[in-house]
Amino acid sequence: MSQEKTAYAEDTDIDTHLDELPSEAAVEETVESLEANGFEVVVVDSAAEALETIQSHIPAGASVMNGHSTTLEEIGIDDYLSSGDHGWESLPEEIRRIDDDAERQAARRDSQTADYFLGSVNGISQTGELVAADRSGSRIGAYPFAASNVVVVSGINKIVPTLTDALDRLETVAYPLENERAKEAYGVESAIAKQLIFRKELDEGRTTVLLVGEDLGY
HSE (side-chain half, CA atoms, 13 Å) at 68: 15
- The answer as to whether 60 is a domain residue is yes
How do the pLDDT tens digits run along the chain, 218 residues long? 456 666 666 678 999 999 999 999 999 999 999 999 999 999 999 999 999 999 999 999 999 999 989 999 999 999 999 998 899 999 999 999 999 999 999 999 999 999 999 999 999 999 999 999 999 998 899 999 999 999 999 999 999 999 999 999 999 999 999 999 888 888 889 999 999 999 999 999 999 999 999 999 99
**What number of helices (H) and strands (E) belong to the chain?**
8, 10
For residues 148 and 203, is the Cβ–Cβ distance under 8 A?
no
In angstroms, what CA-CA distances link 37 with 54, 57, 84, 143, 188? 22, 21, 35, 15, 37
For residues 153 and 48, is the Cβ–Cβ distance under 8 A?
no
Domain that holds residue 52: 39-212
In the DSSP assignment, the letter for residue 172 is I
Chain centroid to Cα 22, Å, comes to 19
d(CA 194, CA 210): 23
- What is the pLDDT at residue 111? 97
d(CA 86, CA 151): 17
- What is the pLDDT at residue 183? 87
d(CA 142, CA 198): 12
- The answer as to whether 198 is a domain residue is yes
- The answer as to whether 153 is a domain residue is yes
- What is the pLDDT at residue 181? 86
The residue type at 116: Y
For residues 54 and 151, is the Cβ–Cβ distance under 8 A?
yes
Q: What total number of domains does the chain contain? A: 1
Query: Quick count: other Cβ atoms within 10 Å of Cβ 60?
Result: 8
- The answer as to whether 129 is a domain residue is yes
- The answer as to whether 11 is a domain residue is no
- What is the pLDDT at residue 6? 67
For residues 22 and 162, is the Cβ–Cβ distance under 8 A?
no
- What is the pLDDT at residue 184? 86
d(CA 160, CA 181): 23
- The answer as to whether 34 is a domain residue is no
- What is the pLDDT at residue 142? 97
- What is the pLDDT at residue 186? 85
- The answer as to whether 47 is a domain residue is yes
- The answer as to whether 167 is a domain residue is yes
For residues 194 and 140, is the Cβ–Cβ distance under 8 A?
yes
The residue type at 42: V
Domain CATH code at residue 112? 3.40.50
